[in-house]
Structure 1
Amino acid sequence: MKHLIFLLACIFLLNAQEIEKEENQTELTFDWLLTLNKGIKRDFYVNEYLQKDISSEDSLKALSLVDNLTNEMFFNFAKAFKHDETLAVAQCMQMDTRYLVDSYADCIVIGLSLEEATTLSSIDIDLIVQKTREKYPTFVKKLKVISSSIPFTKLIISKKDDFYDIYLNVDSNFRTKYFNYKLPKRTFLKIFIDKNKFDKFIAISLTNEKLKKVHNSLLEVDDSLLNHNSSFLLALNSLNDNNLNSAYIYLENAISKTKDKKTIDKYLFWKYYITKDEDILENLSNSINLNLYSTLANELLAKPLLDDSFLESLDPFDILTNDYDSSRIALLYAIAKIKSKFDANKISKNFEVGIMQLKTSLLRTISTNLNERYSSFSQFNMENSIKYANIHLNNLENLFKDPIYLFLAYEGNIKLLNKSKENIFKSDDLFKSLQKLEYVSNIEKEYLKDFILYYYYFYNKLTKKEKLTLSSIFENQLELDQKLND
């Protein structure tokens, strides 16, 4: 443990030295960009540079340094470059769907996704078809599928690649309304050939509880060439059909396809649910991997709270959050742990920065509201990052009180917040609630589960009040779901 604390202290010291070096940099110049190595860090500062008052020539030179061009960078480049055609492309990409309908063919195809198209009226779709049919026949063919009187009949006779392009990319509500039918055998065999896309088909279909008829098409799928996640979702699908034997086989297959201990623990927990074999639960409670499932196993066995010595203790973080209550500190801790792993220099591919991983657009807004000068270099300062994150959470608390919903709002995850209003965890049974969580986290790469876990442990480490249980977290969610729907 001493070695771990020493290592964390060294990491923090190195981070602090790097932050101080950048904070001493007073001006973001092209010459300074040239000193940076290729990668996310340079891309981030190029994006910041493009938002300065620079010439077209400088914006073009800056663009040449980019490793991975994002939409955000392209939009900022287009504004700085001031080239009519480039600006037109950027404007089409950003244009509201309502205005795209009245635009020209090239702009429509650039800016209109299939997801957006499915929210349009049939009259609007017809107008778009008229404008684009000669120049973009492939685009029009897909529009005709979604605008037909019975879209499913057109979908199932489409070529395999067109089937996937449409099914996987339409709006979720549209998919539920128009594609919730049992697949004909011929269509099933056609799309089953592409195992990678079929894995995506399973992930999208089986995590939407409203697609009941599609689920029935997937009850006896041969999963031998599918990935472990597909086998797991097929197991849950069999559970919903009350076929415990089939669910058990799918779980065994899922376990055999991965070596990740955390993932295996998840599958073992669901094996316990099927078999009620307490030996599985006992083994899980002693897992070398601390995760939601090993913690749940301890709770179900009525064992004391697991040792929390794994929680990193960083003096600067502890000092900066000392004035907050236990719930807020736990919330900040869990976000920092998951989003940045306490790396104050962290820059995500979406240009979220610092220990609290906030978007620079939000940081600029908060800086303005505080009458503070925004600097591209100061946002990696831990004190600034925590202060701004706390202000952001204060604003979000006007809408959401529960930590899980606050986290989703902090993430800017509007889709999941909307799902929350549809009873994301609502069930009278812990396992049914957990199953709903599996569907959500299946899309969101386990972020939500990890947040619940770290919030739970850190809150219990800090609080002088009654300790949290994982069951109580789910129970609180049930109460909140009810309030959202009243």
Structure 2
Amino acid sequence: MRKLLFFLSPLLLFADITLLQLQEAPSGRARNFNIWQFMQQDINATQAKSAYALTQGHNRKIFIKYAKKTDDKIVIESSRCSTLSTKALFKETNATCINKGLSLKKALNLTQEQRLSLSQNLKPRYESKSELILLMNDKPFILKALQSGEKNYLKLFNSLGSKNRQRYFNVMLSKERINALAKEKAFNKSIKYIVTDKKMFRMQESLLQLQACDLSAQSYFFLALNALNFKATTKAMFYLEIAQKKAYYQNNKDKALFWMYLISKEKSYLEELAQGYDLNMYTLYAKELLRVKYNNYFSALTLEDKKSKLNLQDPYVWEALLDKIRASNKEELEVLLKKYNSKEDEVLHAFIYSKVLKYKVHNYILPYKKATQDLSNDDKALLYALARQESHFIPSAISHSYALGVMQMMPFLIKALAKQRHEETKLNDMFDPYKNISYASTHLRYLQKHLYHPLFIAYAYNGGIGFTKRHLLKGTFLKGSFEPFLSMELMANTESREYGKKVLTNYVVYKKILGEDIKLIPLLEMLTEPIHTDRFRTRVLSSLP
């Protein structure tokens, strides 16, 4: 029976959706998600075409599934071209198809003869790409790329991946060359790739020669960290001041101030941070050092004990409400607060209330108490910290990648956990917050066998445990100047980097709410001590003589 269940479980992951339901549903992400599920049912080409026509925007996930169901030759051909193997590319004569299947990164791994042949096929319709591929045949490649112009150089630099950047682009550039590159918008992306990769040390030194240029706030922040690695503290402070002024989001303004304090140790930066309304890692750190109490959050709401007027487990309902909330002014939001004031509406009420307060008083509610009642305070704080960041506790939240529910569970993970738990589970079951939290708790128990610190668990929850292991074993989070902060800020994966800091802050606040007033600073200091944080580095250290 167990073997049979394992075989059937993938078929049971998708809801039974009809074309009529899709046609009657409002457009948006919820319908796109259901179209994606519909494409995986036993449907014919006509049904698939009708459903695909309902898709909002271009959606690659849906397109891939549609291509397997359709009899449309153009769609089938487009799908085939995008997945061409290297061997199949050489048999292809259609320039459009070659263009779809041949990335610059793939082209670099071909022989000179192969690149020449493919570039000739591309040239009539895709001349610029053809020229870039031909550049790879010239020796020395890097010099020819530079001579071809800044735009071509940056296109190659940003497209070829970290290993190829390390192999071909890690050279010391002249002052004139690096400043010419800095005039291009694409250079902002290049700065991130350079500064977050330890092996790009020659390019990192080249960045020290930059003069006045118009870059993003994030680029100036990375340039500051790069300057610090070369002990150029005056230059770092200069870049941080620009980053702080140019930053749009308060978190990024606070980040620049925090680093100005770390470098200068001037108390005025801490004092400014401690007065900030945003609750983030930087302001929390300042408040702790200066012993400034913070209470600009709410964890409980006064709500009525009555039946809710809506089903928030329905993603269509949530999408319509979210559109209404976004379009509402303060008076209209206050009307919504009065309308949705049932205890069953707790997460919705808190979401609206946060906006009424202009996000200066922060939402740290503790919903779904039955789902967390058997957890320790530590596990409870971690789960709430993640859920707050993932979905604001909305049970029917759907992400662009179709992560689902309160804990934003990915379909592939739901499938694996259903198998592990010997359960028949449909994806739409994840809109039940209690089932969603139960599945997430199973996953968290697995992560906690390898990772003991909330920051590293957050990295793994967001980016995967394999990604986290590789990051930790790169020599990050070791004792040294400006650690663990440099390791936190120089993580190349932007999403996981920012996610981890936010979850760590949430964790500290939730521990306080749950009666354990732990401090952020000792948690940060612990990050350079592997025995307290993770199994991966502890194993490596224990194997050393």
The TM tier, using the shorter chain, reads 0.7 to 0.9
Q: 1:460 Cα shift?
A: 4.7
AA paired with 1:483? T
Find 1:93's aligned residue among 68, 82, 87.
82
Q: Which residue does the alignment assign to 2:384? A: 333
Superposed CA deviations along residues 116-146 of structure 1, whole A, max 9, x for unmatched, are 555x4xxx44464255132124545434545
Instruction: Tell whether the 8 Å contact from 2:274 to 2:284 is kept in structure 1 after alignment.
Output: yes
Instruction: Tell whether the 8 Å contact from 1:116 to 1:171 is kept in structure 2 after alignment.
Output: no
Q: Which residue does the alignment assign to 1:483? A: 538
What are the ranges of 5 or more consecutive residues in structure 2 without an aligned counterpart? Answer: 1-13, 300-362
Q: Which residue does the alignment assign to 1:449? A: 501
Q: Which residue does the alignment assign to 1:424? A: 476
AA paired with 1:161? K
Distance 1:33 1:408, change over 3 A: same
Q: 1:320 Cα shift?
A: 0.4
Q: 1:367 Cα shift?
A: 3.0
Q: Which residue does the alignment assign to 1:168? A: 158
Distance 1:377 1:206, change over 3 A: same
Distance 1:126 1:450, change over 3 A: same
AA paired with 1:349? H
AA paired with 2:487? K
Query: Which segment drifts farther, 304-313 or 42-51?
Result: 304-313
AA paired with 2:118? T
Q: How many residues align?
A: 453
CA RMSD of aligned residues (A): 3.1
**Is residue 276 of structure 1 aligned with residue 265 of structure 2?**
yes
Instruction: Give the whole-Å Cα distance in 2 for the aligned partners of 1:43 and 1:353.
Output: 13
AA paired with 2:507? Y
Q: Which residue does the alignment assign to 1:344? A: 395
Instruction: Tell whether the 8 Å contact from 1:218 to 1:234 is kept in structure 2 after alignment.
Output: yes
AA paired with 1:418? R
**Is residue 239 of structure 1 aligned with residue 294 of structure 2?**
no
Give the TM-score normalised by structure 1: 0.82
Query: Which segment drifts farther, 434-443 or 410-419?
Result: 410-419
SS at match of 2:287: helix
Instruction: Tell whether the 8 Å contact from 1:101 to 1:127 is kept in structure 2 after alignment.
Output: no
Q: 1:54 Cα shift?
A: 0.8
Q: Which residue does the alignment assign to 2:119? A: 133
1:346-365 matches, within 5 Å, as 346-365=397-416
Instruction: Tell whether the 8 Å contact from 2:394 to 2:406 is kept in structure 1 after alignment.
Output: yes
Q: 1:221 Cα shift?
A: 2.1
Q: Which residue does the alignment assign to 2:426? A: 375
**Is residue 436 of structure 1 aligned with residue 487 of structure 2?**
yes
1:10-409 matches, within 5 Å, as 27-83=16-72, 86-87=75-76, 89-94=78-83, 104=92, 109-117=99-107, 120=109, 124-126=110-112, 128-129=114-115, 131-137=117-123, 138-146=128-136, 150-185=140-175, 187-194=177-184, 196-301=185-290, 303=291, 306-307=294-295, 309-311=297-299, 312=363, 314=365, 316-409=367-460
Instruction: Give the whole-Å Cα distance in 1 for the aligned partners of 2:242 and 2:435.
Output: 48
Q: 1:308 Cα shift?
A: 8.0
Superposed CA deviations along residues 312-371 of structure 1, whole A, max 9, x for unmatched, are 465642220111233332232122111111111211111111111112232234334444
Distance 1:315 1:283, change over 3 A: closer
Q: 1:182 Cα shift?
A: 1.7
Distance 1:432 1:338, change over 3 A: same
Q: 1:284 Cα shift?
A: 1.6
Instruction: Tell whether the 8 Å contact from 1:223 to 1:231 is kept in structure 2 after alignment.
Output: no
AA paired with 1:177? R
Instruction: Give the whole-Å Cα distance in 2 for the aligned partners of 1:83 and 1:110.
Output: 18
Sequence identity (%): 25
What are the ranges of 5 or more consecutive residues in structure 1 without an aligned counterpart? Answer: 1-24
Distance 1:116 1:439, change over 3 A: farther
Q: 1:179 Cα shift?
A: 0.9
Instruction: Give the whole-Å Cα distance in 2 for the aligned partners of 1:440 and 1:426.
Output: 14
Distance 1:355 1:270, change over 3 A: same
Instruction: Tell whether the 8 Å contact from 2:220 to 2:240 is kept in structure 1 after alignment.
Output: yes
AA paired with 2:501? K
